Amino acid sequence: MAYRENTHLSQEVRDILLADVVLIIAFSLTLSGGIFNLLSRGTFTDFFTLYLPISAVAVTLSFILHEMMHKLVAQHYGAIAGFRTSYTGLLITILTGAAGFLLGIPGATMIYVNSFTRKENGIVSLAGPLTNFVVFGAALLLLVILNPPQYSFTDYALSFTLFISIYLAFFNMLPIYPLDGSKVLAWDIRVYVLTMAVILGLVWYFSIIPLSVVLYMVLIAIFFSMFYRMVL
């Protein structure tokens, strides 16, 4: 039994690290304007010294902590849970990043349970976006305390972490199955409305996500929903 558990754990670690690396590269390519823009301008120094490190900080904190909190809360309710990559999703993620836009669908935390109440399912789903709130708050606090020079690496890294954390929170709270928002909404509409109100309030107050990106995320969510039903 111990051997099987260790085998499953090592597979999960490999899966989530692979997904994290692919997302980091894809986000870096997107920030560079895509592979063709990168090649034509020859801005490889910025890609390796700025975009990759910034994405590594922001994506790792926002993505891995989000997925791990889903797992921990699911296990609290007696479920078996673990992150699993989708190789098709990884390919879509890296190809779209190379094209200069991003469909980030590298995988998901899979939960196996005999019986989950609607409330338990809603709480497990809410755990991920709430973790992004914590990451957002920590990055904002560090920005205020450190007050780094504008355009410095620290300023870029913390600012991008703000963007990615609230981006993931908003995207996952869209009420489209299988995203977290659909399960939170099915559990308690008041919790859903309050959570989305906080997210939208942060987006508006800090001018983090333009309307065009919001609409783009909705389209991604619809695509992800269809992709999930067919592949994951």
Query: What tokens were used for 98?
Result: 């190379």
> 172, 181 in Cβ contact below 8 A?
yes
From the list 5, 12, 67, 120, the catalytic residue is 67
Count the Cβ atoms, other than its own, within 10 Å of residue 219. 10
Question: Please, where are the H alpha helices in the chain?
Answer: 2-31, 35-41, 44-46, 52-59, 65-76, 87-99, 118-146, 153-172, 180-187, 189-206, 211-230
> 199, 166 in Cβ contact below 8 A?
yes
Q: Give me the residue label for tokens 């703000």.
A: 162
67 is annotated as an active-site residue: yes
Alpha carbons 22 and 223: distance in angstroms, whole number: 19
Alpha carbons 232 and 193: distance in angstroms, whole number: 28
In terms of Cα–Cα distance, which of 18, 173, 176 is closest to 93?
18
Residues in the chain: 232
Alpha carbons 209 and 204: distance in angstroms, whole number: 8
What is the set of active-site residues?
A: 67
